[in-house]
Amino acid sequence: MGLWNEGWAGGADESGRSTFPIWPACEYALLCAVETWTGYERTEIPLADLVNGLLPKLLNDGVHPSVFRTPEGNAVFPTIPQLIADLKNEMSRYE
């Protein structure tokens, strides 16, 4: 799940690195659609698109995933290879 308003919501971590926030459910994304992201709408990112398209593109662009960001700006910042591996491992449990 991401936030969209004529483009994806983006951010930065404490080091100033560009981040791409993603959430596991729309309710969590909506909690963050405030301040800078007012007017952004929750938008589903299909898991296959995330794993096979978006995450490799972010890696290529030097953008870091910001997972389960909170309204206070807290988040988990996994490496993209680790996130892809974790998601593929979880997906394999449901095939």
DSSP letter for each residue of the chain: -EEESSSB--EE-TT--EEEEE-SSHHHHHHT-SGGGTT-EEE---HHHIIIIIHHHHHHHTPEEEET--TTS--B---HHHHHHHHHHHHHTT-
In whole angstroms, what separates CA 2 from the centre of its chain?
A: 6
- Successive 10-residue mean pLDDT values, the chain, 95 residues: 96 93 95 95 94 97 96 93 95 85
Structural domains of the chain, ranges and CATH numbers in brackets: 2-92 (3.40.1350)
Q: What pTM value is reported for the model?
A: 0.90
